[in-house]
Amino acid sequence: MVILLALVPYILVVVVFVGAIVDLQKDWDEYKSSHLKVTALVVVLLVSVLTLVSLYQENTEKENSQQEIKRLEAKADAANGAQVANTLLYITSFEKLNGELNDLKTQVKTDALQKQLTGVRAELEATQKALAPGPKAVLAFTFWPFFNPQSPRLPVLANQARFSTNEDGSYHVEFTVVNLTDVDAVDGEITLLICDACKFAKEPPEFSRLNGQADNQRNRVFQRILARSALAEMAADIIAPANQNFIVGMNYRCHTCVLPSEPSVGTVLVTGSLSKQAPSALSPIK
């Protein structure tokens, strides 16, 4: 049943094509020259083929985006599981130490030591709360615009895109950062990345270069990215190698985020309908 529903758009295109051929056959004698007849037939066939190809590419991109989202969510679950195990170990150690402090406090007689021990206990309790297990946020890079439906439907990330060029030949790349989880991303930093052979034509708005940072990286801080939401549209003008697809992406850190093991990236298409060549390399964050 699911396969049949997926085929409905293709079937409709074929039905329209057949209908056009039937109408063309009825009016065949009204065309005064064979050249017009052939041209009309070619136009109908070309429009139908292009429509089918467009539907196929759109469905393929949606499937790839859904797979990427599922992969990121699985990574977040694994990281949260490891965090819970480590946190339980810390909590056990803290409880043991807290018990020893209680025993010691009953033996201490001076007010100064009593106050000192009280301060140590407060610090331990604060650290214990900070290490308490809980879910973490996962962020993802996407080109702008992207399909962002109402919850509980998942967004469709734009991992490939084409962009117009400026007068100087640089590409005006538009993008954003999406929070894919039900946890707010709080007090974080984004590192914008472009390919090793790429350059920034000018400084991207709201981003800055840190001392000693690589030429192909820029940083931006954020206070929070709410659950299941995205930052406002951002843009960067990028000078890239001629006639080559190239990578743009980001790495991130935040107090409530899973620590990413690799950057989240997308490919700017310059040649071909889909990228079939290896995009320009992206150096790891140091």
Prediction pTM value: 0.57
Model pLDDT, residue 142: 97
Model pLDDT, residue 70: 76
- Using CA atoms, how far residue 284 sits from 193, 250, 251, 265, in Å, is 9, 11, 9, 12
Model pLDDT, residue 281: 47
Asked whether the beta carbons of 201 and 260 are under 8 A apart, the reply is: no
Model pLDDT, residue 130: 46
Model pLDDT, residue 11: 74
Domain boundaries, the chain: 2-62, 76-130, 136-268
Query: Alpha helices of 108-225 — where are they, by DSSP H?
Result: 111-130
Q: Write the pLDDT tens digit of every residue in 5-21.
A: 666 676 776 776 676 66
User: Which pLDDT band holds residue 58 (cuts at 50, 70, 90)?
Assistant: confident
Torsion, CA 196, CA 197, CA 203, CA 204, rounded to 10? -70
Greatest Cα pair distance, the chain, in angstroms, is 114
Q: Write the pLDDT tens digit of every residue in 118-150.
A: 776 776 665 555 455 678 999 999 999 998 888
User: Which pLDDT band holds residue 100 (cuts at 50, 70, 90)?
Assistant: low
CATH match of 136-268 with 2.60.40.290: yes
- Using CA atoms, how far residue 184 sits from 82, 86, 106, 116, 220, in Å, is 20, 22, 43, 36, 18
**189 or 41, greater pLDDT:** 189
Long-range interactions of 254-257: CB distance < 8 A, separation 24+ = 254/137, 254/139, 254/185, 254/186, 254/187, 254/188, 254/189, 254/222, 255/186, 255/187, 255/188, 256/136, 256/137, 256/183, 256/184, 256/185, 256/186, 256/187, 257/136, 257/137, 257/138, 257/139, 257/185, 257/188
Model pLDDT, residue 183: 95
The structure tokens listed for 37 are: 């007849």
For residue 165, the SS3 value is: strand
Most confident option among 60-64, 116-120, 182-186, 269-273: 182-186
Torsion, CA 65, CA 70, CA 228, CA 163, rounded to 10? -20
Asked whether the beta carbons of 261 and 211 are under 8 A apart, the reply is: no
DSSP state of 197: T
Model pLDDT, residue 256: 95
Q: What percent of the chain has pLDDT over 90?
A: 43
Q: Write the pLDDT tens digit of every residue in 144-180.
A: 999 888 877 888 999 999 999 999 999 999 999 999 9
Strands annotated E in the chain? 139-143, 160-161, 171-179, 185-194, 199-200, 217-225, 234-239, 246-254, 264-268
Instruction: Find the mean pLDDT for residues 91-106.
Output: 64
Reference 215, options 192, 234, 188; nearest CA is: 192
Model pLDDT, residue 10: 65
**104 or 56, greater pLDDT:** 56
Model pLDDT, residue 136: 94
The structure tokens listed for 165 are: 């060029």
